[in-house]
Amino acid sequence: MSPLPIILLMWLATYPARLLGLSLGSLRLPPFWLAFLRFVPVSVFAALIVPDVLGSPEWPRRLPAALVGAGLLWRTRSLALGILGGFVAYWLARGAGL
């Protein structure tokens, strides 16, 4: 099968869902749903990070780094500082032989 029909089929599979999401932009949601949806990014982020941190053979290095990064992010509300702090904590733990 050539690539063009595959690309067109994938476009047909994904475009309606994206169009639906974009068309709901002017919809007014009740306060319950607005409060509920505020936690979706945090939940998705946790679902991506926790298995990688705890499921790795390097978890003794990754867990303190993740906690340092999360603490910095929580205290400063700066994503860049949280990421940099997590990296520094990871490399310090690695350098210390953990």
Domain boundaries, position 52? 30-95
Please state, in angstroms and rounded to a whole number, the distance separating the CA atoms of residues 77 and 37: 20
Count of structural domains within the chain:
1
* Residue 12 located in a structural domain: no
Under 8 Å between Cβ of 49 and 74: no
Helix, strand or coil, per DSSP, at residue 52: helix
Sign of the torsion formed by the C-alpha atoms of 85, 81, 71 and 51: negative
User: How far apart (Å, rounded) are the C-alpha atoms in residues 74 and 61?
Assistant: 20
Asked if 76 contacts 86 with a C-beta cutoff of 8 angstroms, the reply is no
Whether residue 21 has pLDDT greater than 80:
no
For residue range 39-93, list pLDDT tens digits in order: 888 888 889 888 988 888 888 889 999 999 999 988 998 888 988 999 999 999 9
- Asked whether residue 84 is domain-assigned, the answer is yes
User: What's the predicted TM-score (pTM) here?
Assistant: 0.59
